[in-house]
Amino acid sequence: MSAVAESDIDRILRITRRVDSEEPKKEDPTIELEEIDKSEHQHNEVSLPPLPTNITRKTFFSHPDSHPIALDIALIVKHGVEWLGWEPEVLHRQIEADFGPLSDLNMSKIQACKTLHLGEPYWNEWHVFGWCTMAFNGIFPDFDTMQVPNVSQVAISVDIANRLRDDVKWSDEVRLYIRTVFEHESIVVPTPPLDFVDIDTSHYDVNVQAIKQQWPGVRVSGKAPTDASVEDEQLRRMLEVHLHLEASRNRLRSQLPLVQHA
């Protein structure tokens, strides 16, 4: 286990404070939504999944819906960065002594966060990216069989990574891996936090510019297009990814009060 440098400690604490104080992002007020028909808007609006209501301080480390960053913050608040140097067995015993029961699934989320804190393989090696992505989405990583994430799961994974670290560049290998995930689902316009990926649209009969122009309104309103055009189908898929991402962010916001004074 590599030692944690002072620069790493400063980075971890700085980014953690930023997440801890984050407010939901406000949408661009210049987007005009007044012309949307109210009845049609209500008919096509897509709602975010409800937040889990049965997570408490006592069940936080055993609940399957605990957010990886919230678990990470709880450990940093309790032990600083010292826990990053502990072996898994020691970490498991200490967590149960401090917080109560720890599930294997949440241990995998914690280990994924630890991987990002202490090194750069997540950004450089596709298989490490895939394993961490599974854990960040509440799925046990399988180290023997390749698990293929979908675009929504990749978006959640990258969003979590961006909050933990902002000092690592993406390798061509991982960019290609993410691009392949997009191509597998036939989504041609990556949106934040995946807009660093370039998609080759030369073999698609689709108006990318029209999609980009319509996307802000679809994103803000949550109104899924109902036409059968290729562009509307793209917007529907993009909206589904966005809603999964927002559900993850909302889960983090709702759990921060549980861990701020761990």
Q: What are the boundaries of each domain within the chain?
A: 8-20+57-259
Please list the pLDDT of the chain residue by residue as tens digits (262 residues): 344 455 555 555 565 555 545 544 444 433 333 333 433 444 455 555 566 567 888 899 999 999 999 999 999 999 999 999 999 999 999 999 999 999 999 999 999 999 999 999 999 999 999 999 999 999 999 999 889 999 999 999 999 999 999 999 999 999 999 999 999 999 999 999 999 999 999 888 999 999 999 999 999 999 888 999 999 999 999 999 999 999 999 999 999 988 876 6
What is the number of other CB atoms lying within 10 angstroms of the CB of residue 16? 18
Query: What does the DSSP assignment read for the chain?
Result: -PPPPHHHHHHHHHHHHHHHT--PPPPPTTS--TTS-HHHHHHHB-PPPPPPS---TTTTTT-TT--HHHHHHHHHHHHTTGGGGS-HHHHHHHHHHHHS---HHHHHHHHHHHHHHH-SHHHH-HHHHHHHHHHHTT----SSS-----HHHHHHHHHHHHHH-SS-PPPHHHHHHHHHHHHHHT-----TTSTTS----TTS---HHHHHHHHHHHHHHTB---S-SHHHHHHHHHHHHHHHHHHHHHHHHHHHHHHTT-
What is the number of other CB atoms lying within 10 angstroms of the CB of residue 94? 17
The total number of residues written for the chain in this structure? 262
